[in-house]
Amino acid sequence: MPVTYDEAVTRLEIGLAAELPGEAAQLRLAPRPRHEWPSGFNPARIRLAAGLLLVYASLDVDDRDAPARAARDPRTASAAACIVLTVRTETVRHAGQVSLPGGVDDPGETFDQAALREAHEEVALRDDGVRVIGALSPLDIPVSGFRLHPIVATLPRRPALHPSDGEVARILEIDVDELLAPSALVETTRVRDGRTFHVPAFRVAGVEVWGATAMILAEFLALLGW
């Protein structure tokens, strides 16, 4: 059965308050072999970052009164649950890849604050009505030197989004049911530094979501019963 917005929020709140599935879920979508930190690497050099995994209801609401009206809109009980991903431009690191809105924390920021700020900068997300409900397990990304903290937030309406010039080529608004469909999970290969990697991925919205983003989504979907 389809997962509605209200159902998704309830399951996520329960799952985020309990022990997270963590690496066991993440590894379902990990490239094989997985890139590891080099021998002797100093963990103090890891850069901390945050990404926003926004779950929203597929409801279009008049922006003039959106937060107040959507917060009590009974249609969220049957509205589809969707998430926001971005496709990076060809001029930034990891060009063309699909990712959560996010980036490096500024000094003094919490991960929640960093994720919301980056989402505003990258996709013009306003925080009116956005509610942070928890965090997924941090994920180390040795290939880029980051430890990413995925922050989960909800919004009971469809946000008005605009891509950041020079950083975001395209915004993807993906129905959670598309990710949960068995046909979305595919096996691909990638070649890096002369090595071939077997890479599980989600094929949705005309793109392949793989690597760190897919691993984060695997844990997210596990909380929804995947």
CATH of residue 43's domain is 3.90.79.10
Is pLDDT at 69 greater than 80 in this prediction? Answer: no
E strand residue ranges, the chain: 47-57, 81-88, 98-99, 102-104, 131-135, 139-141, 146-155, 168-175, 185-192, 195-204, 207-209
pLDDT in the model for residue 88: 87
Axis-axis angle for helices 5-17, 211-223 (nearest 10)? 90
Is pLDDT at 85 greater than 90 in this prediction? Answer: yes
Indicate the number of domains in the chain: 1
pLDDT tens sequence across 30-51: 998 777 777 777 888 899 999 9
pLDDT tens sequence across 46-64: 999 999 999 999 988 655 4
pLDDT tens sequence across 158-193: 999 999 988 899 999 999 999 999 999 999 988 877
The parent domain of residue 140 ranges over 5-223
Residue 93's pLDDT band (cuts 50, 70, 90): low
pLDDT tens sequence across 129-154: 999 999 999 999 998 899 999 999 99
